[in-house]
Chain A
Amino acid sequence: MFKQLLWKEWRENLWKLTFGGAVSAAFVLLLFRIRLFPDATNCVSISFVQMLVLPVIYALDIFSGEMSNGTIHLLFKFPVPRWKIFISKYFISIGGFLTIFLMSGLLMELIAQGRETDTGFLLKLNASFGISALLLFTWFCPFGAQSRSEAGSLVAMFSVIIGWGIIMLWSGVSEYMWIWHFVPYQYFTLYISENSLEVNMLQLVLSTGMAALGILAVACYRFVKVRRVL
């Protein structure tokens, strides 16, 4: 049954992969051709927008869509634990947007091969934004798990994006640097800011990983208990 769930999610979210992939590819082609910015800067600009937009696209209606269409009741009647429904949604979503990240990274490497950066640099840069996007998406899940409208989900996601920005800024100003170990944006700042390189990588992976797992568990719990709020 889990396979069928994955298949359902894949079919339902195919437009996101197509749309996100097409728009990403279009911007990569255009910006790397006109070269308004240097290649690495182009890569950062595109990946940054991808990091903010792709998790939003996927999280937007993955839970709220089922609720607004009323298909959540049908879904819950399937003989499969609810957490598996949640996990199938989660995996298909992250698989989808990470595929777009990989594809755009490869496209950037292909176009900018040997031009301004070392081979593989743009892909690595892209991957760091991909990890940040993954963490951001995980943070969206608990807020979107019981959302009943797309607009509501969108506002919740903007709150997460801006909220982490505020926390990052505030902790920087107040010199509570340990908080940075939980900030999803920390991964991409590793490449673009010289100061961040002093961060202990293992510590960072452990802290963000643990936080992501915890938040995922909360999201799963909220999704499993969804009937109470419907």
Chain B
Amino acid sequence: MKTGRIIHQQIMQLKWHFLACLGLLMTLPIEEAIINLKDGEGFYASGLSLGIPVMAGTLLAGLIACGNVQADLDERRHIFWRSKPVGAKSFIALKYMVGLFMAFLVISAPVLFGLISSKVHGEKFDRAFVALIINFQLISLLTYSVCFFCNALVRKTAQAWLIGMAIVCFLLLVPFVLPFRFKDISGDFLLIASTVYIAITVGASLAAFIVSLFAVNHNWHLQTNLKGLLWTGATMIFLAMLLFTRQVANIKVLDEIEIDAEHAYIGSLNRISDSVLLASTFEVDTNNQKIQLVNSFSPPSEALQKQRQGIQPFYTREKDHYPEPFPRYSVVSYCIGEQLYTFRLNSYYIREKVGKNSWAPKYKKAYICSYRLAEGIYRVPVSALDLADCIDEKKAWKAGLRQIDDKLIIFIQDSFAVIQIKADGSLELVEKRINGLKGYSRHLSDREKIFKIPMMSIDGVELNERVKLTVDVNYGYHHFYSSWRSDNLFCENTHVDIDGDKISFCLLDEGGIQRYDVVKWDEEYIYCKFRDERPFTFLEQMFSLVTTDNDPWFLQDGKLYVYENQKLMVFDIRSNSIRKLGHFERLREDYRIRDIEVLDNGDILLCAETEKRIITKSPDPNRKYDDYFIRKGYLSLLKNPE
């Protein structure tokens, strides 16, 4: 029999499946293109409408495989073609190839439409989306081959498709079960070309094809008595798999204790020298992976009381002046010898009437103050510097503070001052730049281009630290300052990662994490370029969204920590692609993560609170119900994922 005729027969057999599947997959991109055309944007489909067809393509590939096999291998027909002068192996090989070709035509159609129409329209797909498409094409190859094989054995369309899909799902989970250090379905698989997955998809497809050839050649047909054996075998393999599995990506809780709810607030964990303080009252001891709270609070001694009374206040607050300290929640500390000093920017405002019933703060005074810590937690004022001339009453208030070695950089609106911390803890002004901060420099929407951020010129600060400060000021002070949860982030944490001579930084938005490289710098600017992006998956954004306005995030030792009320995620940002290392989630009623602190040994200390509303019947005859809140605080020690 001629090959061409067999191919023709196979194509004719599959044409209805082909057309139906093509119709299903093309509907969404064409719908989007029509909507775009109606909106006057042009006839094109973006990545938005391609996601569903690309994923559904894997299911349809399996369906085409089942339809393909069943057309010639069902009980009656396989006797018919076996009587024809064609080898079973070559017939089934042709069948496999023709079906595969048609399946790929169907699956590729929406992608090609999207690619071509976007290109004509001038839109470009990013690299991650192209990788995603390629990976799903590989999965489609796998589903096609496995379903083909299953149907060759089972000879029932529905059952073969289901068994095939179940096997494919297990195969896709295998790398996470085996010790490949796979942790992130996006960063380790979907958004990159992973050799492990290429090997699995291509290898398993090839194996399924070869076994199918033998199965059809020898007319292997899964008999009822073999089904029990197969079920038992599958169960044994599965149980063995379970036995050797480990937890992949959840962050392990080493210890958890309940604390007074009053101690669980934003910025409640503070690192002072080598120790971590909770609510400025308890020292947190985490030896042997157990949390112990050591109460550092004791009434001040008489000598200390006398000493504090004897000190003249650096500023006598006027009656209508309201104080506002910065940082409000956290502590900026520096150790000189055995003595600890803390620093705070104390500002004062008056209330100015702006309407009938409203007022706005007008800042009048600002002092940077240093304190000596005595008897553990008591602050004894040491010195203060007046920075009132940095205040511009016409501009909106914002303040920041960063300590670099023995220097303090104070930011007030668009001005900054560099302060030297002297050996006795007193402060000395090095330089003051009124309106010396250059404006916020936005990165470019064209990710191929290099963009520049004005370099901060501060004498006596190491170059790397200047680059770090410049980026943090640009993205942390200028842009994200409005975040009410993150005042301590600018003081203590950074968006920049310095790995040897490589400097990179990360930015976050609701869509995902973007990584930028600092390519070069000079006295005027630092030059940056977009490197890659790791979008938040739909699954990660479910239940609670990560929003950069309120949710703090920071970089430390090559890891990005991002948390919101109920979720903490840790990402590795030094590997080739940004990958999630772990997650901690408590989807409980009113669970709120308040603060986290990464300890020296890498473990994570997490402070959280819960607030449960209780409604009871009121004893008051005028009221039906009474309600009150039960608040609880928690301190958890988490293992930092590697």
Mark A residues whose CB is within 8 Å of B.
15, 19, 22-23, 26-27, 29-31, 33-41, 44-45, 49, 53, 57, 60-61, 116-118, 121, 149-151, 154-155, 158-159, 162-163, 165-166, 169-170, 173, 191-192, 194
Contacts and interface: CB of A to CB of B under 8 A. Distances in A.
Contact of A158 (B59, B567, B583): B59
B119 interface: no
Contact of B583 (A19, A38, A155): A38
A107 to B, nearest CB: 14
Nearest to B157: A150
Contacts of A26: 238
Contacts of A44: 539, 542
Contact of B587 (A35, A40, A151, A169): A40
Contacts of A173: 35
A150 B231 CA distance: 24
B103 to A, nearest CB: 14
Contacts of B238: 26, 30
Interface in B162-186: 162-163, 165-166, 169, 173, 176-177, 183, 185
Contacts of B70: 150-151
The 9 A-B pairs with the shortest beta carbon distances in the complex, nearest first, are: A38-B585, A35-B250, A60-B158, A150-B157, A151-B67, A117-B587, A155-B20, A34-B248, A41-B539
Most buried by A among B246, B539, B540, B567: B539
Contacts of B242: 29-30, 33
* Chief secondary structure at chain A's binding surface: helix
A159 B248 contact: no
Contact of B28 (A40, A149, A166): A166
A49 B539 CA distance: 14
Contacts of A45: 539
A159 B20 CA distance: 9
Interface in B31-80: 31, 35, 49, 52, 56, 59-60, 63, 66-67, 70
B209 to A, nearest CB: 21
Given A34-B176, A121-B587, 8 more contacts: A35-B247, A41-B543, A150-B70, A154-B158, A159-B24, A162-B52, A165-B28, A173-B35
A34 B52 contact: no
A162 B59 CA distance: 12
Contact-residue size bin, chain B (C-beta under 8 Å from the other chain): 35 or more
B52 A40 contact: no
29 contacts: A22-B231, A29-B242, A30-B241, A33-B242, A34-B245, A34-B246, A35-B250, A36-B249, A37-B583, A39-B585, A60-B158, A116-B586, A116-B588, A118-B587, A150-B157, A150-B158, A154-B157, A154-B158, A158-B21, A158-B24, A158-B60, A158-B63, A159-B24, A162-B27, A162-B28, A162-B52, A162-B56, A166-B31, A194-B545
A23 B52 CA distance: 24
Contacts of A166: 27-28, 31
B589 interface: yes
Nearest to B24: A162
B89 interface: no
B17 interface: yes
A61 B545 CA distance: 41
A149 B540 CA distance: 40
A16 B162 CA distance: 10
B600 to A, nearest CB: 27
Nearest to B23: A159
Contacts of A27: 169
A34 B247 contact: yes
B161 interface: yes
Nearest to B27: A166
Contacts of A151: 17, 63, 66-67, 70, 157
Contacts of B56: 158, 162
Contacts of A31: 173
Contact of B539 (A22, A34, A37, A158): A37
Interface in B580-602: 583, 585-589
A38 B17 contact: no
Q: A41, A61, A121, A149 — which one has the most chain B CB atoms within 10 A of its CB?
A: A41
A15 B245 CA distance: 29
A29 B567 CA distance: 23
A49 B165 CA distance: 11
A54 to B, nearest CB: 10
B586 A154 contact: no
